[in-house]
Amino acid sequence: MTKTLLRGKNLITFQDWTKQEIDMVLNVAQDLKRRFALDEPHRLLQDKTLFMMFFEQSTRTRNSMEAGITQLGGHAHDLTPDKMQLSHGESAKDTAMVLSRMGHGIACRNCFYGIGNQYLNELAKYASIPVMSLQDDLYHPMQVIADLMTIQEYFGKNLKDLKITISWAYATSHAKPLSVPLSQILMLPRYGMDVTVAAPKEFPLYGDLVKTAQHNATENGGKLSFVDDMDEGFADADIVIPKNWGGFGNYTFDEYNAHEDECRQEMKANLDKYKDWICDERRMKLAKPHVKYMHALPADRGNEVTPAVIDSEASIIYDEAENRLHTAKAIMALTMGGRP
């Protein structure tokens, strides 16, 4: 039975949501995508206010949420630390309690390692309106639900044994969080998929959540395995998701926050060892003939992936990006609206 009553539910990670609740989001997202395509009004959150708090830059997340709430008939406040009293030390508790008195939803991105998820949970503890994670240091629920929607569009709803490769890739842009691959290994095995993570040993994922993901796979008939060779990871894959992430998994939160400069220097030195970890045409040929290429974007062209791959017919990145809009709208409509 699909659960429909989600009003007021927080979304910090989909690990806290049942599969029935996730399926409801996907069903609503498909309906909203159809309505958007037909230019049908769908003002399900008429006059509702969403407070968006961004501690970092954003393209897809910011615009999918702001466009989404507008199309649902509401309004977004685009808040950054310089627009609020956060820079003067205002607590998450005070922020949550004040904004709860003024609107209908709080959405926040805070990716600082060892800080972001704690901050999101502190907001959720004190808010009386739903709190939605726009990405933290451990989870990116808005990305992974769009990933799942896109995979279902291409491969159907029965995803049992579909082979997904989540691969680390070289990039020069910045030390990217662990939240995208962690969210993927937690979610995709719940739908019976066969997930392989390919990464150098210097770039592990966060151990406690790997254990949870292994449990998810066992409980739901999925698989989760790890290799340290990119070619091996790509072999026979239906979908490849090559993306950079930093070596944060090597450090506890306390270690990292006490020695951030040293940790970042070590990550940079490790990064330079693996410049050949790129998704190119040769590696794509190791996968199945119908293989699809996915990426949360922005992709580091020429480092994570070659133009020949990202711009090929195998690439479904723009479908994936568009689905950020429809899934975001479904989450907002279900958690900020719903039955009284």
pLDDT digits (tens, 9 = 90+) for 157-174: 999 999 999 999 999 876
Percent of the chain with pLDDT over 90: 90
What is the reported pLDDT for 90? 85
Mean pLDDT of 6-31: 97
Residue 177, domain member (yes or no) = yes
Based on the fold, state whether residues 57 and 201 are members of the same structural domain. no
Under DSSP, is residue 292 helix (H, G, I), strand (E, B) or coil?
A: strand
204 three-state secondary structure: coil
Q: Are residues 51 and 178 in the same domain?
A: no
**Maximum pairwise Cα distance, the chain:** 56
* DSSP notation for 152-186: HHHH-S--TT-EEEEEE---SS----SHHHHHHHH
Domains identified in the chain, total number = 2
Average pLDDT, the chain: 94
Q: Which of 84-93, 196-205, 227-236, 288-297 has the lowest mean pLDDT?
A: 84-93
Identify the pLDDT of residue 82: 73
- Residues 65 and 106: their CA atoms lie apart, in Å, by 11
Mean pLDDT value across residues 208-227: 98
The pLDDT assigned to 338 comes to: 58
User: What values do phi and psi take at 250, rounded to 5?
Assistant: -80, -15
What confidence tens digit (pLDDT) does each residue in 113-150 have?
A: 999 999 999 999 999 999 999 999 999 999 999 999 99
1 lies in some domain:
no
pLDDT exceeds 70 at position 59? yes
**332 and 184 in one domain?**
no
Distance CA 138, CA 106 (A): 19
| Residue 321 reports pLDDT greater than 90 | yes
Q: Are residues 51 and 106 in the same domain?
A: yes
Q: Give the count of beta carbons closer than 10 Å to the beta carbon of residue 227.
A: 16
The answer to whether residues 294 and 147 belong to one domain is yes
169 and 64, same domain (yes or no): no
Lowest-confidence region among 164-178, 206-220, 224-238, 266-280: 164-178
Q: Are residues 62 and 193 in the same domain?
A: no
Q: Which amino acid is at 236?
A: D
* CATH number of residue 56's parent domain: 3.40.50.1370
Q: Say if residue 53's pLDDT is above 50.
A: yes
Look up the domain containing 206 and give its range: 143-320
Is 101 within a domain? yes
- Identify whether residues 231 and 149 lie together within a single domain: yes
Within a domain: 37: yes
Does residue 123 share a domain with residue 226?
Answer: no
Q: Which of 135, 147, 134 is nearest to 294 (CA)?
A: 147
- Amino acid identity, residue 35? R
Average pLDDT over residues 238-266: 95
For residue 84, the model assigns a pLDDT of: 66
pLDDT at position 88:
57
Does residue 68 share a domain with residue 26? yes
Mean pLDDT, rounded, for 276-290: 98
What gap in Å lies between CA 214 and CA 212, rounded to an integer? 5
For residues 103 and 183, membership in a common domain is answered with: no
Q: Is the pLDDT of residue 326 over 80?
A: yes
Q: Does residue 2 carry a pLDDT above 80?
A: no
Q: Does pLDDT of 340 surpass 50?
A: no
The answer to whether residue 185 sits within a structural domain is yes
Q: What is the mean pLDDT of residues 25-45?
A: 98
Q: Let me know if residue 74 belongs to a domain.
A: yes
| 189 within some domain | yes
Is there a domain that residue 92 lies in?
yes
Do 178 and 46 share a structural domain?
A: no
What is the tens place of the pLDDT at every residue in 62-114?
A: 999 999 999 999 999 998 777 765 655 689 999 999 999 999 999 999 999 99
Sequence letter at residue 200? P
